[in-house]
Amino acid sequence: MIDLVAFIPRAIGQSVPLLFGCTGEIITEKSGNLNLGIPGVMYVGGICGVIGAFAYEQASKGNMIGILAIGIPMLCSLIGSLLMGLLYCFLTVSLRANQNVTGLAMTTFGVGFGNFFGGSLIKLSGSDLPTISLSKTSSFFSASLPFADKLGWFGKIFLSYGFLTYLAIIIAAAAGLIIKKTRTGLHLRAVGENPATADAAGIDVVRYKYISTCLGCMIAGLGGLYYVMDYASGIWSNDAFGDRGWLAIALVIFCIWKPGLGILASILFGGLYIVYLYIPAGMDHMEYKELYKMIPYVVTLIVLVITSMRNKKENQPPASLGLPYFRENR
Amino acid sequence: MCCRLFERRMLREGEAPQKGTFWGPGRKRKKLRRESRDQEMSETAIEFKNISKQFGNVYANKNISLKLYKGEILALLGENGSGKTTLMNMLAGIYYPDEGSIAVDGKEVSIRSPKDALSLGIGMVHQHFKLVDVLTATENVILGLPGKLNIKEAETKIREICDRYGFVVDPNKKIYDMTVSEKQTVEIVKVLYRGVNILILDEPTAVLTPQEAERLFRVIWRMRNDGKAIIIITHKMHEVKEISDRVAILRKGEYIGEMATEDADIQELTNMMVGRAVSLNIERKTPVNPKPKIEVEHLTILDEEGVAKISDVSFTANSGEILGIAGISGCGQKELLECISGLVKPLNGHVYYVEEDESRTDLVNLNPLQIQQKGIALSFVPEDRLGMGLVGSMDIADNMMLRSFRYGATQQDIDRVNKSRFLENLKQKMQPFTDRKTPRNLAQTVVEDLNVVTPSINTPVSNLSGGNVQKVLVGREIASHPKVLMTAYAVRGLDINSSYQIYDLINKQKESGTAVIYVGEDLDVLLELSDRILVLCGGRVSGIIDGRGANKEEVGLMMTSMGGEQGK
């Protein structure tokens, strides 16, 4: 049947962008901001990384230094998604625009931004295919530990990944701990649940919303970067990132706003996302494969139904999610 | 009759010995009070200087100057919307004054945020609790404080505060599992934990049972004797008399005056609040030709957990009569009214509506729409005004429309078409659009007749103060000319003048032949208003008595002493 040793690393490879997006969105939502712009932010994070890498590859003429080859695209990616986060916060927190509309607009904008600059770079590089290949930069990103190959199946399943994979897991675990165990986390939860209460208790609601949303965007942006540089081996082609951003938002619901749970859930989703490749359907029934692609979304719906039915307060979204806060509102 | 109001001390120790521990013997309280009287009240804690605050074109506060001394309890009185809460919010950092200044301990300060207020030692317990539901008591208490998170240490400190002031609170309990009284305790612990010297309580007793209120007062006295300055906003005159040292009065955003509580009497205070002489009498006319209108038989209602909230309740409500329902809050009053109005299905039993010709309709399996379509005019003023009664984000006119939108016609038309299926169908076919004009006129009438304080009828009701919201709701329900009017805590949170306006409206309904079911918490008013009183205890009827002969002690005993099921 399914070759697990081959399947699991691929599932994990699929899961990393989802995990970045999911952790970023959880941190954002915990502050009461429903950022539906995450798919767009991930696009921007990806293309900004590509721009940085492209510029550095051109400038270095082949003599690339590892730290710069990783550092420059990463910095570009973080700055790009930070700007998106600031834009979102300015609109929804400072101007109190509708969060759903703003988020959706930002997704449209982000995808367009990515495709526009992607298309421009493809023209600049003058390649025959509609893609940009940054294989040199990618080799730095996807470098795994040197002894991973020698450890058989263990090495393949646990050690065969680039550093961003581990970073994703570390960030998710850290986010989980911070939200649950620290005072900052307690304040963040209070802001998302009941900003008026948090405000009356002396917590700077606006600051918490800005910082958590921008941080969330930066983390999500790394998901886009990982996708291009590691998963796609440095090849950018327009629209290749697909609907992973939406899947990341679905994942937030699936893991009931717990980043720690997000690690496992993202791997499960990653597996479900590609499971259709591993299920023998034959050539006669290609349409079945299309049905299998639905599985992650169906699972999310089921989880949503179950958590709503159980109606446990702790498993519900933050109470003021999606609502603007203005102190002098009565 | 007015003095009854402040004499009201329901269920004193002698009458309910099993509950005596809640507030202890009365003598001790007197002693506590006298000690503080001896204290010199010269040190100023807070001074407001010419404070003004505008919302839009309306002055919420205009040129207010007021002093608060250490070791005193100041009661802030005023009608709904007179700017009491606004003034206090400026002290707590929620609003910032447009003009004027505030001095704390003689030093002029600028309070730009709640954080500033807390660092000056000012804490406020808001009318609508500011607590995070999914967090525990401890987590709520330490919210916003700096430093490392140490739940254990915080719990110890909370327990110390509780012991000191005589609270009972479980630090690990989640807020959503708590009763209103427990939530309020958490709120008070929260401000005490921060070591405040100036405590503001905005209508703290509005949602408490008399026993819980007594317990709260004992805590407040103890804090006062610790030298803290306390401001309490309340509409209940007897509480003003009972608890405060000094009373300050606001009217329409302006400062009217102050006096020592000892020298004040209720009539005088009320007149100052309203700005003219107000009659504090409730007229009770003898019911004219009462006939059964609602007959409830052996009603049993379960809540979601399957616990019986109402068990085997039977009674009759007559037209032209007010049936008062007394009971400790949470004894099934809410469920009973919701069942009659068709919102809740009972486990068994019947609710009959009796027509003029004495034919009976069982309402138990009908929903509110079906009841309306049968031409039965039931009106229900629920306890939860903005949750069940009105839509907060819609304006007054649109809220009026909630009752008439279905027909695209006026209320009178509805009454008419109800009589004929044919006409009703015709109307619906002919009028695809709603009629907005009639509700607008109705809104205008309600605003004018009931003196609703609002910038316009296009203001969302959530922006109105509690009393004005209630007037809008009661106004709408009465405008539909009900045959049966049910009100649950109709005057909760209302100032004394508005309350009497509401009593008046209810009385007028009674005189026009409506069967009124009045659930109230103020026993004095219940006794003055009701023709008959149904006393509930733990979801059972402990007796139905005549309102005229009844005395408070008797009713109080009936409320608590049946089957060992006492209010929580």
pLDDT digits (tens, 9 = 90+) for B153-195: 999 999 998 888 888 889 999 998 888 888 888 998 998 898 8
A101 interfacial to chain B (CB closer than 8 Å): no
Distance CA A216, CA A45 (A): 12
Q: With contact defined as beta carbons under 8 Å apart, do B529 and B499 qualify?
A: no
What's the confidence (pLDDT) of residue B428?
A: 56
Pairing of strands A132-133, A235-236: antiparallel
* Residue B497 and residue B457 share a domain: no
- The answer on pLDDT for A34 being more than 50 is yes
A183 interfacial to chain B (CB closer than 8 Å): yes
What's the confidence (pLDDT) of residue A124?
A: 85
- The answer on pLDDT for B65 being more than 80 is yes
Averaged pLDDT, B446-454? 84
The domain total for chain B is: 3
- List, as one string, the DSSP characters of B507-563: HHHHHTT-EEEEE-S-HHHHHHH-SEEEEEETTEEEEEEETTT--HHHHHHHHH-ST
- Check residues A329 and A45 and name the one with the higher pLDDT: A45
pLDDT confidence band for A19 (50 / 70 / 90): very high
User: Which of the residues A194, A312, A316 would you substitute to probe the B interface, choosing the one with the greatest number of B C-beta atoms within 10 Å?
Assistant: A194
Averaged pLDDT, A94-122? 93
What's the confidence (pLDDT) of residue B49?
A: 92
- The answer on pLDDT for A188 being more than 80 is yes
Give how far Cα A327 sits from Cα of A55, B127, B464, Å.
46, 16, 16
Last residue of one domain, picked from the residues B251, B274, B297: B274
Say if B60 falls within a structural domain: no
What's the confidence (pLDDT) of residue B14?
A: 36
Give how far Cα B56 sits from Cα of A74, A315, B42, B59, B60, Å.
49, 40, 38, 8, 10
Say if B14 falls within a structural domain: yes
Distance CA A203, CA A190 (A): 9
**A183: nearest CB among B95, B124, B147:** B147
* Residue B464 and residue B373 share a domain: no
What's the confidence (pLDDT) of residue A80?
A: 96
Averaged pLDDT, B292-317? 87
* Residue B176 and residue B36 share a domain: yes
pLDDT digits (tens, 9 = 90+) for A118-164: 989 888 887 778 888 888 888 888 888 777 777 778 888 888 888 99
What's the confidence (pLDDT) of residue B422?
A: 54
Distance CA B203, CA B466 (A): 11
Say if B55 falls within a structural domain: no
Minimum Cα–Cα distance from B91: chain A residue: A200
Chain-chain contact of B113 with A199 (C-beta, under 8 angstroms): yes
What's the confidence (pLDDT) of residue B416?
A: 53
* Residue B459 and residue B489 share a domain: no
Amino acid identity of residue B540, one-letter, is R
| DSSP helix, strand, coil percent of chain B (3-state; round to 5) | 40, 25, 40
- The answer on pLDDT for A37 being more than 80 is yes
A206 interfacial to chain B (CB closer than 8 Å): no
A105 interfacial to chain B (CB closer than 8 Å): no
User: Which of the residues B86, B124, B139, B149 would you substitute to probe the A interface, choosing the one with the greatest number of A C-beta atoms within 10 Å?
Assistant: B149
Say if B47 falls within a structural domain: no
* Residue B132 and residue B15 share a domain: yes
What's the confidence (pLDDT) of residue B19?
A: 35
Q: Would you mind telling me the total number of residues written for chain B in this entry?
A: 568
Distance CA A144, CA A162 (A): 5
Q: What is the CA radius of gyration of chain A?
A: 20
- The answer on pLDDT for B544 being more than 60 is yes
* Residue B291 and residue B264 share a domain: no
Averaged pLDDT, B33-40? 45
* Residue B311 to chain A, least CA–CA distance (Å): 28
What's the confidence (pLDDT) of residue B263?
A: 86
Last residue of one domain, picked from the residues B217, B243, B274: B274
B112 interfacial to chain A (CB closer than 8 Å): no
A319 interfacial to chain B (CB closer than 8 Å): yes
* Residue B329 and residue B466 share a domain: no
* Residue B316 and residue B187 share a domain: no
pLDDT confidence band for A178 (50 / 70 / 90): very high
Give all domains of chain A, ordered by start, each with its CATH number. Answer: 4-323 (1.10.3470)
* Residue B568 and residue B429 share a domain: no
pLDDT digits (tens, 9 = 90+) for B198-246: 999 988 887 777 777 888 898 899 889 888 999 999 877 888 888 999 9
- How does the average pLDDT of chain B come out, rounded? 81
Last residue of one domain, picked from the residues B274, B290, B323: B274
Averaged pLDDT, A195-209? 91
* Residue B407 and residue B393 share a domain: yes
pLDDT confidence band for A169 (50 / 70 / 90): very high
Q: Which two tokens stand for residue A171?
A: 């960030």
What's the confidence (pLDDT) of residue A1?
A: 52
Q: What percent of chain A has pLDDT over 70?
A: 96
Averaged pLDDT, B481-489? 89
Chain A positions touching B112 (Cβ under 8 A) are none
**A190: nearest CB among B114, B115, B135:** B135
pLDDT digits (tens, 9 = 90+) for B71-81: 999 999 887 77
A191 interfacial to chain B (CB closer than 8 Å): no
Supply the range of the domain harboring residue B415. 387-481
- The answer on pLDDT for B440 being more than 70 is yes
Averaged pLDDT, A62-81? 91
* Residue B345 to chain A, least CA–CA distance (Å): 21
3 state DSSP class of B337: helix
Averaged pLDDT, B334-346? 88
- Check residues A225 and B402 and name the one with the higher pLDDT: A225
A313 interfacial to chain B (CB closer than 8 Å): yes
Say if B104 falls within a structural domain: no
* Residue B225 and residue B284 share a domain: no
**With helix as H, strand as E and coil as C, how does B172-193 read?**
CCEHHHCCHHHHHHHHHHHHHH
* Residue B215 and residue B85 share a domain: yes
Say if B58 falls within a structural domain: no
pLDDT confidence band for B407 (50 / 70 / 90): low
Say if B53 falls within a structural domain: no
pLDDT confidence band for B501 (50 / 70 / 90): confident
**B133: nearest CB among A193, A198, A328:** A193
- Which CATH number does the domain housing residue B284 bear? 3.40.50.300
Say if B13 falls within a structural domain: yes
What is the value of ipTM here, to two decimals? 0.84
Amino acid identity of residue B507, one-letter, is N
Minimum Cα–Cα distance from A179: chain B residue: B149
* Residue A318 to chain B, least CA–CA distance (Å): 9
- The answer on pLDDT for A293 being more than 90 is no
Tell me the CB-side half-sphere exposure of residue A121, using CA atoms within 13 A. 25
Lowest mean pLDDT among B205-209, B516-520, B539-543: B205-209
- The answer on pLDDT for B432 being more than 70 is no
Give how far Cα A135 sits from Cα of A13, A144, A308, B82, B392, Å.
17, 15, 46, 71, 58
pLDDT confidence band for B551 (50 / 70 / 90): confident
What's the confidence (pLDDT) of residue A2?
A: 62
